Each structure stands twice: as structure tokens, then as C-alpha cells.
Amino acid sequence: MLKKKKRSNIVYGLLALFFSLLLFFNANGSNFRNSIASTETYEETAQNVPITIDYDSDKYYIQGYESTANITLSGANRVQLNAEANDETRNFKVVADLTDLGEGTHDVPLKVENLSNSVDASLDPDTITVTIEKRVSKNFQIDTQELEDKVQDGFELEDFVISPQEVKVTSGEKTMKEISKVILSSNLETINKDISDSFSLQAVDDNGDGLSASIEPQEADVQLSVSAPDKEVSLEPTQTGEAADGVSSFDFQLSENSATISGAQNLLDNVDSLEVPVDVTDVTEPTTRNVNVQTPAQLNSDVDTVTVNITPIFEETSTEDSNPSSSTNSSSSTDEQTNESNENSEVEETETQSTDPTRSPPAEDEGSTTQESREQTELTQDSADEQVDAQENEEETER
């Protein structure tokens, strides 16, 4: 009985050991799998991260260094990497520590601060070269000659106002000795019109090369006015594009027929009119369009755009060409009417000559005509006498 009980305890013990081992390996297997999964890493690169320089800015002026660096971040947490790569959500910064350095040129290592321990960082570059000089300041008048020299030939500089006229320049002691003047930095090639704008300032040496310096203020306001010869020229519309079928030409009416151009005199002498190109493509009815005036380069015009009224003129169809027989018949009929008219005129002239007693006969027949008139008068008188006698005889017969 005792042996049977011992056997049962051994069986239960073995079963308990089995389940314990099963649970142990199941738990460790899960951790092992998580361990394998956790070894996968991700990378993100942050471009142009600003470099923070730690130095005594009241005592020193620094120059000649790279202002940004690229940093490659790696880690298992992808969400955290994305946050650190974003310049709006990152916590770290790239720092160059110059606090223990004096004047001169130094190679300074870069380091990353405030970065999570679970994220690794690699910098490019990992060092920068910095020149440290004693800090000095000096006031300079702004030199405007370089900008004035850009006024185009033929133009006259009437007025030049700049504000401020004087600025404060801060740089290294050695660099300050090389600064010759402070100029207005501009990309303008030529000036041929009035200017009202702000220009950045730059410190340069005798050769016009830029030098490292801090300028207060960094910009200057400029009001510049120029004048130039001017000339009045005509505006000439020119047809462009393909005319529609049936359209022979176009009539153009401009809102402005002349413009005043200004510029260098040698350019004005070569211009008598400005072209107004009018596109007539698909114009089959009166149309109004706004058209740009073509002004030559380096000249200015007081008219940039004109309104053009476009009227198409259509080809005329000839009726004579289309019906030649009708033209011939009409011509024949006209000739017949002309002949009849001439004949009627001759008849009327003859009748007028015979019935108009006041009309004078030709000079050579005047004698014969007078004789015939006398004989006609006598015959008429005899006939009248005979009629009177006949009437008296009838009255007597009736009695």
C-alpha cells in the first residue's frame, strides 16, 4: 500500500515537472522571439541641421566655419526616429564648443546633445574649422557709387536718397583692417527706370571681395529716380495668324494711335513706330481684343497694352462672271433702247419744226418760205369767201 502511494507521488511529480518545463520554455521562447524582432534597426537622415557654437560672443568674433551638418540617426523605434529627423519635433542639437579656445584657427569636433540613448547618431562633417578673432566694431558710410555706375548710358541720375546713410560694422580685429567700404548688394545689370526698394549691405575689401562681418542694420532703403530722352512714335497694327476662308483683309482700329518711348538717344533714333501684333485666327465677325505693344529692349513706353477693334472684310462675288449671257442680252437691249430713243428724238424735232411758227427756217430758204406763206394766205381767204357765199345761199333757199 505504501509503495503504491509512493508511485502515485512520483507520477504527480513528473507531471508537475513536465508542465513547469513547458511553461518555462513557452515564456522564454516568446522573449527570444521578441529579442530577435528587437534587433531590427531603422535609419533616418536629417539634412542641414544648424550647428550651435558655444563661445564668448562679447569678446570674440568667429568666422570661416560650416554652419550646418548632416546627421544619420539609427534605432529600433521608427516613430522616435521620424520625430528626431523632423526639425520641428527633434530634441537634439549639434554643438561646437569653443569656450576653452583663444584667438586663432582651430579644428573643433562636433557633438550631438540631448539625443535619446536608444538612438545612435553619425555626423557629416564631424569637425569644423573655426577662426577666432578679437571682436571690434566700426561705423561706415554706405558707398552708393557702384549702384550709380549701373545707370544706363543716355540716362541721367536725378535723385538718390538712401536710408540709413551710416551703419555699424562688427568683425574680427584683423578682418576689420581689410574692410574698405560697405556697399549695396544688387543683381541689377543696368538701371533705366526709377527704383524704390531695399538692398542688402555687404562689407568688401579694396578689390570688391566680400568679407565676413555683421552689419546693423542689414538692409538700406533706396529711392532712385532717373530721366532719359523721349520720343513720340506711332503704333502700327500688324496682322498675324491665318485669316478664315472668304476673308480678304481686316480693318484695325486702335484705342491709342501713338506712344511716348524713352531711353538712350542712340536707341530712340532707330525707332519710328511700335508694332502691335494682332492675331486674326478664326476672326469672322467684328471682334475686340487687348494686345500688348512690342517695345524694343532697353526702351520704355508709356503704353503697354491697347484695345484693338478687328473688322473682317470679305471677298466680293462678281455677278457678271457668273452670268455672261445675261450681260450680253442686257447690252443688246440697252443698244436697242438707245436707237429707239434717238429715232424718237429725230421725229419730235421734225414735228416741232413744222408746228412752231416762231421757229426760224434756215437762212437759204427764207425767200421761198415767204412766197409760200403769201400763197397759202390767199388760198385761205378765198376758201373763207366761198363758205360765206354758200351759207347765204342756203338761208335764201329756206325762206
- The whole-angstrom separation of Cα 211 and Cα 173 is 12
- The whole-angstrom separation of Cα 199 and Cα 77 is 48
Q: Where are the beta strands (DSSP E) in 258-347?
A: 258-263, 273-279, 287-292, 299-301, 305-314
Query: Which residues, in sequence order, are bridge partners of residue 312?
Result: 250
Which tens digit of pLDDT belongs to each residue from 324-370?
Answer: 443 334 334 444 444 444 444 443 444 434 444 334 444 344 444 44
pLDDT at residue 381, rounded to an integer: 55
Nearest CA among 319, 341, 316 for reference residue 330: 319
Select the CATH number that applies to the domain covering 42-134 from these four: 2.60.40.2240, 2.170.120.30, 3.40.920.10, 1.20.1180.10: 2.170.120.30
- The whole-angstrom separation of Cα 371 and Cα 375 is 6
* Contact call for residues 170 and 62 (beta carbons, < 8 A): no
Q: Give the range among 10-24, 314-328, 359-373 with minimum mean pLDDT.
A: 359-373
pTM of the model: 0.52
Task: Using DSSP, state whether 74 is helix, strand or coil.
Answer: strand
Residue 153, all three cell numbers: 548710358
DSSP conformational letter for 286:
-
Which tens digit of pLDDT belongs to each residue from 95-131?
Answer: 999 999 999 999 999 999 998 888 899 999 999 999 9
* Contact call for residues 198 and 219 (beta carbons, < 8 A): yes
DSSP conformational letter for 180:
-
Query: Which residues, in sequence order, are bridge partners of residue 197?
Result: 222
Q: Check: CATH 3.40.640.10 for 230-314?
A: no
pLDDT at 4 over 60: no
Cα 360 to its chain centre, rounded Å, is 91
Helices then strands, counting H and E runs in the chain, come out as 8, 20
pLDDT at 83 over 50: yes
Strands 68-75 and 42-54: antiparallel
Distances (CA, A) of 355 to 110, 257, 285, 341, 347: 139, 71, 66, 21, 12
- The whole-angstrom separation of Cα 371 and Cα 382 is 17
Query: Which residues, in sequence order, are bridge partners of residue 191?
Result: 151
Phi, psi angles (nearest 5°) of residue 212: -75, 120
Task: Using DSSP, state whether 82 is helix, strand or coil.
Answer: helix
* Contact call for residues 213 and 172 (beta carbons, < 8 A): no
